[in-house]
Amino acid sequence: MRFPTNWLWTIVFLLLILPWLALIGLGIFWLWQHHYLVTGFITLASFYGAATLLNHWLKHRQIEPFQLPDVQADQRWSPAAETVWAEIDKMADEVNPADYPLTDSARLLLLAQQVIRKVARHFRPKAGKAELDIPLRNILFITEQVSRDMRQLLDERIPFSHLLTIDEGLKLWKWKQRLEKGHFIYRMGRMLLSPATAIPAELSGFFQGKVAQYPKGLLEQWLLRTLIKKTGYYAIALYSGQLAPPVLAESGPQPESAPETKQPLRILVAGQLKAGKSSLINALLGELRAATNVLPLTDELTVYKLAQDDSSELLIFDSPGYGDKIHWFEKEPERALGGFDLVLLVCSATQAGREADAQFLTDLRNWFDQRLHRSMPPVLAIVTHIDQLRPLREWQPPYDVQAPQNEKACNIRDALETVSEALHIAMSDCIPISLQTTGGVYNIDAIWAALADKWPESKRAQYLRCLPEGRSKEKLRLIWMQMANLIRI
């Protein structure tokens, strides 16, 4: 006589659970025999009560159990890289472990190829086979880096992963599938023996989304997500030019990120004629001003260098004032508009026309919209001549423009709102100042505070601006080394 497979698994389950049930029964009998039964139940109830309260507190604070690490995007990535990363992230969320078993290396390789193809077609849209438009060493580098990161994650997050062999892992995987069947039998048995408690538990698991996790498994889903996002991360870094494979050396290869630029941060001061650009630069530089011809972008730009102690240098570019019909940057738009990491747009509070300023910002935004591998520098609107607003004879700073208390403060607030609306710049990025010579400058400290706040965005713009130059130097260095080795051979 041959028993059905389900009955055989039921016998296995009973053989595993009966010793534990017997141990529980013997323990209760021992507690009753030594008059510790009440004390034991009170202690057990106390532990379960504390666990229940802690569980409710964790759920209230939205602290999830077993948080596994996720792969994050690089904050220095360009808008083009961020766009394809969003697609990779969506692909990782939608992957089904049933379609890509961890034991099927061919399917996993196909998954990685799909990720690389998606990234390649995004950065090389005109190439017939974009995934082939990359050096072979770069593909090998992606494989190397993903393998290294996955190994590190396994060592840190998966218990005994450094002890299990592949054969043992395959056997455990088969047992895992069998135990899932045993768990299903247990759930069915609980439904038959105690439907009053089993049905609410099943419904609770269903509505909390736990049933949906049974077919795919938390660990399998995390491993596949990590594989997809790690592959996408390094593919984006390579195709965008922000990462290069290391050059072999005697000390062994080391991953080489994009070289940090040693160029100073570039700040452009732009604005209409007589808006107060030169006075602003004098106020910013003070005694540290030193005229220089370092890296001029055009003949019409005057460059000033600001260096204080051991901090990095700043180059401040004073540009000619533009009118409604004449713009200095039209002569060399390819170099001029994309050559800065932060823009101070000087707007006089007494000038009514904003068309020239709006045209300048429109040209600047269009330039970067057409070059998604670059990041547009942050723009601060510096509203000058606020001391000349009505009432003309009143000038008793400071003025609170957030909650104006008098007519002067209200007029300053109105001027800021006008500039913000006309130029599509946030009110928080519009800074009112006075540069009059008799009463001294006012609110320059607010500009320095705003520059510090925009520092991360400026560094990102600088990083992407200098990236092609750094990569060109790296390519020349590698070619020189290869030619030197060829000559030796």
- For the chain, the structural domain boundaries read 5-60, 79-248, 266-468
Q: 420 pLDDT exceeds 50?
A: yes
Q: 349 pLDDT exceeds 90?
A: yes
pLDDT at 130: 76
Question: In which region does residue 274 sit, left (phi positive, over 0), alpha (psi from -120 to 50) or beta (all else)?
Answer: left
Q: 443 pLDDT exceeds 90?
A: yes
Using pLDDT thresholds of 50, 70 and 90, give the confidence band for residue 171. Answer: low
How many angstroms separate the CA atoms of 489 and 483, rounded? 10
Q: What is the mean pLDDT of residues 240-257?
A: 54
Check if the beta carbon of residue 399 is closer than 8 Å to that of residue 411: no
Using pLDDT thresholds of 50, 70 and 90, give the confidence band for residue 194. Answer: low
Q: Which residue has the tokens 């990041």?
A: 375
Give 488 or 339, the one with higher predicted confidence: 339
How many C-beta neighbours within 10 Å does residue 206 have? 11
Q: 160 pLDDT exceeds 80?
A: no
Q: 29 pLDDT exceeds 80?
A: yes
Please work out, in degrees rounded to the nearest 5, the angle formed at the alpha carbon of residue 365 by the alpha carbons of 278 and 295: 50
pLDDT at 167: 64
> Domain 266-468 adopts which CATH fold?
Rossmann fold (3.40.50)
How many C-beta neighbours within 10 Å does residue 402 have? 8
Mean pLDDT of the chain: 77
How many angstroms separate the CA atoms of 390 and 410, rounded? 10
Q: 343 pLDDT exceeds 60?
A: yes
Check if the beta carbon of residue 385 is closer than 8 Å to that of residue 349: yes
Nearest to 389 by CA among 423, 433, 429: 433
Nearest to 327 by CA among 296, 292, 300: 300
Q: 256 pLDDT exceeds 50?
A: no
Q: What is the mean pLDDT of residues 187-206?
A: 53
How many angstroms separate the CA atoms of 66 and 30, rounded? 37
**Range with lowest mean pLDDT among 132-141, 142-151, 203-212:** 203-212
Check if the beta carbon of residue 13 is closer than 8 Å to that of residue 186: yes
Classify 137 as helix, strand or coil: helix
Burial (Cβ within 10 Å: 0-12, 13-18, ≥19) of residue 207: exposed
- Side-chain half-sphere CA neighbours of 197 within 13 A: 5
Q: What is the mean pLDDT of residues 58-72?
A: 65
Nearest to 80 by CA among 119, 22, 37, 31: 119
Distances (CA, A) of 205 to 177, 182, 222, 253, 350: 20, 18, 20, 49, 66
Q: What is the mean pLDDT of residues 208-236?
A: 71
H-helix segments, 337-428: 355-369, 407-423
Q: Percent of the chain beyond pLDDT 70?
A: 69
How many angstroms separate the CA atoms of 375 and 338, rounded? 9
How many angstroms separate the CA atoms of 120 and 114, rounded? 10
Q: What is the pLDDT of residues 131-146, one digit of tens each?
A: 777 777 777 888 888 8
The reported pTM is 0.66
pLDDT at 254: 44
